[in-house]
Structure 1
Amino acid sequence: MQGLQEAVDYNEGKIKARTKTISIEPVPDFEAKEIKDIRNGLGMTQVLFAGFMGVSIKTVEAWEAGRNMPDGPARRILAMLQADPNLPQRLHIVAE
């Protein structure tokens, strides 16, 4: 009910919309060697890394050979892994 009342009040000009300013870091590009270095830093084989990233083994092979490059979401995950190699364990995605 409160949310509905706020919507009505906003529509009638009684209140202003709440806004928040945020900045988002651009999604970086990765070279083939960087991808391999990230994977090796995690101590994962291409098979394990593919499973973690949700892609095929052929995709990881192509990334590391420079034939293909990761798309936006994969690049964001790679950047997060580069910044925090312990991320998979902290998020309980990988258990040793």
Structure 2
Amino acid sequence: MIEHADDFRDTLMQIKTGNLKNARTTKIQLSPITETRHAVQLSQPKFAEKLGISVNTLRSWEQGLRKPSGAAKTLLELLHRRPELIHELHA
């Protein structure tokens, strides 16, 4: 337990001094749907409302649990290329 406390203290000191050369970083790969939603700065509920879908459906798409198909897939591909078009959709 004390060993972990020392590691934690050392990490905090590295952050404080900006000495992060040996720090481990993790890059998170966002789904194209999540990237699009972030690009237009909308929350999941607001983005789902614009698309006319439930928040649960959007979450499952963003998490890769399900994939959109048909018109939804086409619309999302278009919005990924031209995110500003989201504002043309009426909810």
Classify the TM-score, shorter chain: 0.5 to 0.7
What letter matches 2:68 in structure 1? P
* TM-score using structure 1 length: 0.58
1:55-84 deviations in Å (ceiling 9; x for gaps): 100001101111111111111111111121
Q: Give the fraction of aligned pairs with identical amino acids, expressed as a percent.
A: 29
What letter matches 1:63 in structure 2? W
Alignment partners' CA distance in 2, 1:61 and 1:92 = 20
Alignment partners' CA distance in 1, 2:51 and 2:61 = 12
Identify, as 1 or 2, the structure richer in helix: 2
* TM-score using structure 2 length: 0.60
2:55 corresponds to which of 54, 57, 61: 57
1:78 corresponds to which of 71, 76, 79: 76
What letter matches 1:82 in structure 2? H
1:8-59 deviations in Å (ceiling 9; x for gaps): xxxxxxxxxxxxxxxxxxxxxxxx7111101111111110111011110000
Check conservation: 2:33, 2:80, Cα contact below 8 A: no
Q: Which consecutive unaligned segments of at least 5 residues does structure 1 have?
A: 1-31
What is the root-mean-square deviation of aligned Cα atoms in Å? 1.8
Q: Which consecutive unaligned segments of at least 5 residues does structure 2 have?
A: 1-29
Change (3 A) 1:92 1:36: closer
Q: SS where residue 83 of structure 2 aligns?
A: coil
